[in-house]
């Protein structure tokens, strides 16, 4: 620590104390002004008290000037004294420091908020991309399943029917060549129709028979194709008002369910009578396919076939229900109930 300010302060204190003492000397001595001497021609010498008072005044003046000089030097030394870390900071210095710290904190918070927003946007876009890919994958799988159902219920059943017709024609080659030729021609026409259906499936269209006619006409063509070369009678009653409430997709699925049920009745049940009904209920459209074939145990597990599973899958896609009743020797009854989105108008 620099001792100069302390030394100057102590010296100034001593000077001021001496000055105070000199100024009070006349009061201690009880000095009073001397009476004026009578005028005379000769000069009068000052008394010792007067000389002491004059000397005191001069010394006091010198002390005052010295004290002033010491005070000036003290002020200058304090002004040029280096500021240390422990000294008091200038006014508003701490406030300015806090403001700077708050400003830096605000800038850091804004930067962190912008970074969090950017990360959230990146994460949201990634989630949207993942959801879109999942949706496309599910759509692809669903389309693959739908195509498999269409191929099984449509193309394969048609080919089965053609094969049965060809077999019946082969048996008639010797006994009735004309009938055999007619059945072979019918098989050729059925194959052409199947090829046309394959093309429409490739282009994503509904079966050709349904696109160019009503549900009843498409069902008649389907039954004629499946029953070709068989001794079977089909009893069909279709309510056109009920089928008019169906969308094209619903009509296709109901037609394919009918195809599967009729094909099963002919191929597995050996039915000679098949009844098909489509009618309108209070808030639904109902499809009935019933046969007088051999039937089967509906509670037993059936492996190796996809027919019943495909029917239920199509019904689930429509939001419909399938009820199947069958007993060995008592035929089979399939009922599909499709709820309508809105109640039918009168």
Per-residue confidence (pLDDT) for residue 285, from 0 to 100: 94
Structural domain including 283 reads 130-339
Per-residue confidence (pLDDT) for residue 304, from 0 to 100: 46
pLDDT for 298 beyond 80: no
Please give the C-alpha separations between residue 253 and each of 98, 111, 246, 248, 311, in angstroms, as whole numbers. Answer: 76, 58, 10, 9, 9
pLDDT confidence bin for 317, thresholds 50/70/90: confident
At 310, which CATH number?
Answer: 3.30.565.10
Average of per-residue pLDDT values in the chain: 76
Distance CA 166, CA 57 (A): 156
Would 65 be classed as within a structural domain? no
Would 206 be classed as within a structural domain? yes
CB contact at 8 A, 233 and 273: yes
CB contact at 8 A, 277 and 330: no
What is the crossing angle of helices 215-227 and 157-171, to 10°?
Answer: 40
Percent of the chain with pLDDT over 70: 64
pLDDT for 239 beyond 90: yes
CB contact at 8 A, 214 and 168: no
CA-angle at 44, arms to 38 and 46, nearest 5°? 115
Tokens, residue 326: 């069958």
Per-residue confidence (pLDDT) for residue 346, from 0 to 100: 42
pLDDT confidence bin for 86, thresholds 50/70/90: low
Instruction: Write out pLDDT tens, residues 242-286.
Output: 998 988 888 888 988 998 899 889 888 889 999 999 999 888 999
The order of strands in the sheet holding 273-280 is: 233-238, 273-280, 284-291, 332-339, 321-326
Per-residue confidence (pLDDT) for residue 139, from 0 to 100: 59
pLDDT confidence bin for 344, thresholds 50/70/90: very low
Would 28 be classed as within a structural domain? no
Distance CA 207, CA 222 (A): 11
Would 294 be classed as within a structural domain? yes
Would 11 be classed as within a structural domain? no
Instruction: Write out pLDDT tens, residues 26-70.
Output: 544 544 444 455 554 445 556 676 677 677 677 766 777 777 677
Residue 318: name the closest of 231, 259, 225, 255 by CA. 255
Distance CA 338, CA 251 (A): 11
Per-residue confidence (pLDDT) for residue 225, from 0 to 100: 78
Per-residue confidence (pLDDT) for residue 92, from 0 to 100: 62
Would 198 be classed as within a structural domain? yes
Domain count, the chain: 1
Percent of the chain with pLDDT over 90: 13
pLDDT for 234 beyond 80: yes
CB contact at 8 A, 47 and 34: yes
Per-residue confidence (pLDDT) for residue 273, from 0 to 100: 94
Would 52 be classed as within a structural domain? no
Would 286 be classed as within a structural domain? yes
């Amino acid at each position: 620590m620099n001792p100069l300010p302390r030394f100057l302060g102590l010296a100034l204190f001593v000077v001021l104390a001496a000055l105070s003492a000199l100024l009070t000397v006349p009061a201690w001595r009880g000095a009073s002004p001397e009476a004026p001497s009578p005028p005379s021609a000769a000069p009068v010498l000052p008394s010792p008290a007067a000389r002491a008072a004059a000397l005191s005044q001069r010394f006091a003046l010198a002390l005052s000037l010295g004290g002033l000089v010491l005070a000036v030097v003290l002020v200058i030394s304090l002004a040029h004294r280096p500021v240390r870390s422990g000294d008091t900071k200038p006014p508003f210095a701490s406030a300015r420091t806090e403001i700077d710290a708050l400003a830096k904190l605000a800038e850091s918070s804004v930067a962190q908020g912008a970074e969090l927003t950017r990360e959230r946007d990146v994460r949201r876009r990634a989630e949207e991309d993942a959801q879109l890919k999942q949706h496309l994958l599910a759509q692809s799988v669903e389309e693959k399943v739908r195509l498999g159902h269409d191929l099984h219920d449509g193309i394969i059943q048609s080919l089965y029917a053609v094969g049965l017709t060809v077999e019946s024609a082969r048996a008639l080659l010797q006994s009735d060549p004309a009938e055999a030729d007619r059945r072979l021609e019918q098989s050729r026409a059925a194959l052409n129709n199947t090829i046309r259906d394959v093309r429409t499936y490739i282009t994503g269209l509904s079966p050709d028979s349904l696109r160019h006619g009503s549900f009843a006409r498409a069902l008649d063509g389907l039954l004629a194709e499946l029953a070709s070369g068989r001794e079977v009678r089909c009893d069909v009653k279709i309510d056109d008002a009920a089928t008019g409430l169906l969308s094209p997709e619903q009509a296709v699925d109901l037609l394919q369910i009918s195809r599967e049920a009729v094909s099963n009745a002919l191929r597995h049940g050996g039915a000679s009578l098949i009844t098909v009904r489509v009618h309108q209920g209070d808030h639904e459209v109902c499809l009935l396919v019933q046969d007088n074939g051999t039937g089967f145990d509906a509670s037993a597990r059936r492996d190796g076939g996809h027919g019943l599973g495909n029917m239920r899958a199509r019904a689930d896609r429509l939001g419909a229900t399938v009820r199947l009743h069958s007993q060995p020797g008592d035929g089979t009854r399939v009922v599909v109930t499709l709820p309508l989105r809105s109640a039918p108008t009168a």
